[in-house]
Amino acid sequence: MVLLQELNLQMFAQFHDKDLEKEALRVISKLPNLEPGRVKGESVNVRYRIPITFRLSN
């Protein structure tokens, strides 16, 4: 996931199941507001890795 300077999120993920993808997006949308990184007082893009593990039962 990349937090862009404009406070937009881009999610890069591969899911083999659309329902799991929807759930991951729902969980990510519940995160508190994130702030962009700063270098010398200027906003910069920041990469975050947030692992999401699903445990499925039969």
Between residues 19 and 46, which one has the greater pLDDT? Answer: 19
pTM above threshold 0.75: no
Cβ proximity of 2 and 12 under 8 Å? yes
**What pLDDT is recorded for position 39?**
92
Mean pLDDT within 18-37 = 83
Residue 53 pLDDT more than 70?
Answer: yes
Mean pLDDT within 52-57 = 86
7 φ, ψ (degrees, to nearest 5)? 65, 30
C-alpha 24/C-alpha 45 separation (Å) is 22
**What pLDDT is recorded for position 40?**
95
For β-strands 2-3 and 9-10, DSSP reports them as antiparallel
Comparing CA positions, the residue from 57, 55, 1, 7 lying closest to residue 33 is 7
